[in-house]
Amino acid sequence: MHFRALSLAGAVCASLSGCASYQPAPPAFHKALNEPYHLDSGDKIRVTVFEQEGLTNTYAIDKGGYVSMPLVGTVPARGSTTKELEATLSAKLRDGYLRDPDISVEVDQYRPFFIMGEVGTGGQYIYVPGMTVQNAIAIAGGFSPRAEQRTVDVTRQVNGKVISGRVLTSDPILPGDTIYVRERYF
């Protein structure tokens, strides 16, 4: 009888230690979903300079967070919205190159998201606007037989800080997110 009580206490402690790592998503985590998109390394943008065919092109934001463009050189893009980058590029082109540049900047391809843990094939995948955790798991080959299928841990950069939280599989993800599918206990 004493052994049974001791093993029950051990099982309770083991299950509670799994809960100790639980971190609900902080408010800033979900608030980031409703903010304008901020550019970062890995994004590809389409810059259209009207009536300037030689400047209109798709440009990649490099790992330093800069975009390189003819005439203006390298311009910081990390953390900017597309509208802010439009204003920056317009000012640079107005400074000795074009009288009144009319520029449009849009995201051509978002930076990838990452998924690991109990999925078919973890790795880096192309982000598509409107993706949920479920979509990401499907792209990665679905859940493994040992996967916890209700919630996952997501790591996201918000306002220059890396934060993590546990979310439902129906929650949306953002470009650059890292999704970790945990192993279930039973």
Series of mean pLDDT values for 10-residue runs along the chain (186 residues): 46 44 73 90 96 93 95 94 96 90 96 97 95 97 95 90 92 96 89
Q: Specify whether 161 is located in the same domain as 116.
A: yes
Say if 13 falls within a structural domain.
no
Estimate to the nearest angstrom the gap between the alpha carbon of 11 and the chain centroid: 37
Strand, helix or coil at 166?
strand
pLDDT at position 63 = 94
Say if 8 falls within a structural domain.
no
Q: Specify whether 53 is located in the same domain as 97.
A: yes
Say if 7 falls within a structural domain.
no
pLDDT at position 170 = 93
Residue 140 backbone zone (phi > 0: left; psi -120 to 50: alpha; other: beta): alpha
Number of domains in the chain: 2
Boundaries of domain holding 29: 23-35+111-181
